[in-house]
């Protein structure tokens, strides 16, 4: 097998599809074969949607959620705790 054919097989494995469940409003990114299995079933509620929907409703939402940051100050003297290795 040549390097070019190995690269082509690698690319085939990483092709992703975006699917949307019309009942639960869930959006997933799956590899092509798994998505095809879900969408291909005749009574399935899964439909292909553009990747843009996943970016707007799933990926970017996770980035904008506020993070629970703890205040890392020492209560005794108000300075930040530093983790120095001895």
CA distance 54 to 26: 10
CA distance 78 to 71: 10
pLDDT at 64 over 70: no
State the chain's mean pLDDT as an integer.
77
CA distance 42 to 80: 59
- Domains of the chain, by residue range, sit at 11-63
pLDDT of residue 3: 72
Nearest 10 degrees: CA dihedral of 11, 63, 61, 31? Answer: 10
The DSSP 8-state label assigned to residue 80 in this structure reads: B
* pLDDT tens, position by position, 25-48: 999 999 888 999 999 887 889 999
CA distance 49 to 30: 12
Q: Which of 2-11, 16-25, 43-52, 69-78 has the lowest mean pLDDT?
A: 69-78
CA distance 78 to 70: 14
User: Per-residue confidence at 21, pLDDT binned at 50, 70, 90?
Assistant: very high
């Amino acid at each position: 097998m040549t390097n070019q054919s190995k690269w082509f097989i690698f690319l085939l494995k990483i092709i992703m599809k975006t699917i949307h469940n019309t009942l639960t409003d869930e959006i997933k990114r799956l590899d092509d074969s798994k998505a095809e299995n879900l969408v291909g079933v005749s009574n399935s509620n899964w439909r292909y949607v553009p990747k843009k929907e996943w970016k707007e409703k799933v990926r970017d939402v996770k980035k904008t959620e506020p993070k629970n940051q703890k205040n890392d100050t020492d209560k005794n003297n108000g300075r930040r705790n530093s983790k120095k290795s001895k």
